[in-house]
């Protein structure tokens, strides 16, 4: 029997699911080997149990918690799909600002007060509790990045179909950068999150002339202290350093700590 596969999303742009739909050259071969039972973006059916659930998006509201618990209970293997599900992503920046402050800034004093006194707006406070899905449920595999790397998706799918252990080396983005012979952007005085960030992305941003923003999350062995010290040596002030750590990593322990 073909394994039953489902896709779900929480707070996200659904770009990672789109990235999967974009794997056109191999997608039909995969679909011959699995039974796709739920995929809001491409399918209307639903199913009671899943062998593999791919979950995109971050957790904000109590309803999200109930739903992710339900998905977990019905899934044998659960994959966090993309930066929102893995680390919370950019929306976790709202963890550091009260909704009333945002409303006040955009809609004025009256709106600021309304958000605080009108119970219809209290749900907004859930956006100060943006969490990755592993804050609620056990995750069996992480497909990192904003968006995910199709090669890693394929590696995971093949490993699951072939019964082998998927492996994503816990190496910094610097490894990808060196393999691509990039000039180190830190040497040019730019702030790069590469030394503390999970690699495997082929350093695509640096190859294209940008820096690493850390969308794949901090490495388990990340030497954050040294990284902050290094940025200070490059005359980057602490406010900017904090902002860099909270761009993608705001919901991670390190993003909360800096």
Q: Which residue ranges make up the site for other proteins (CB under 8 A)?
A: 26, 29-30, 33, 158, 161-162, 169-172, 174-175, 178-184, 186-188, 194-196, 220-223, 226-227, 229-230
Peptide bond into 96 cis (omega under 30): no
Closer to other proteins at the Cβ: 21 or 226?
Answer: 226
* CB nearer other proteins, residue 5 or residue 84: 5
Cβ closest to other proteins, residue 73 vs residue 221 = 221
Min dist CB 131 to other proteins, Å, is 26
CA 120 vs CA 103, 117, 128: distances in Å:
14, 9, 16
| Rounded Cα gap, residues 239 and 247, in angstroms | 12
> How many Å apart are CA 65 and CA 42, to the nearest integer?
24
* Helix/strand/coil percent split, the chain, to 5: 50, 15, 35
Q: Is the CB of 26 or the CB of 101 nearer to other proteins?
A: 26
Least CB distance to other proteins at residue 227 (A): 7
Rounded CA-CA distance 2/10 in Å is: 26
Q: From the CB of 206, what's the least distance to other proteins, in Å?
A: 11
Q: Smallest distance, Å, CB 43 to other proteins?
A: 21
């Amino acid at each position: 029997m073909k394994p039953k596969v489902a896709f779900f999303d929480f707070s996200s742009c659904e770009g990672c699911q789109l990235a999967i739909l974009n794997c056109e050259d191999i997608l039909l071969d995969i679909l011959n080997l699995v039974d796709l039972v739920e995929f809001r973006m491409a399918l209307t059916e639903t199913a009671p149990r899943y062998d593999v659930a791919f979950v995109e998006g971050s957790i904000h509201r109590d309803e999200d918690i109930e739903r992710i618990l339900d998905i977990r209970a019905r899934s044998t293997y659960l994959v966090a799909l993309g930066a929102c599900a893995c680390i919370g992503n950019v929306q976790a920046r709202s963890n550091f600002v009260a909704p009333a402050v945002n409303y006040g800034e955009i809609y004025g004093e009256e709106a600021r007060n309304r958000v605080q006194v009108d119970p219809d707006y209290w749900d907004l406070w859930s956006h100060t509790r943006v969490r990755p899905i592993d804050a609620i449920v056990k995750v069996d595999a992480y497909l990192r990045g904003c968006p995910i790397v199709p090669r890693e998706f394929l590696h995971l799918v093949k490993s699951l179909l072939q019964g082998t252990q998927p492996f994503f080396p816990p190496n910094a983005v610097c490894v990808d950068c060196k393999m691509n012979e990039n000039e180190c952007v830190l040497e040019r005085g730019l702030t790069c999150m590469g030394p503390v960030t999970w690699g495997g992305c082929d350093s695509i941003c640096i190859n294209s002339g940008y820096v690493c923003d850390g969308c794949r999350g901090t490495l388990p062995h990340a030497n954050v202290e040294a990284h902050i010290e290094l940025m200070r040596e490059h005359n980057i002030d602490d406010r900017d350093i904090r902002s860099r750590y909270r761009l993608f990593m705001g919901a991670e322990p390190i993003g909360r700590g800096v």
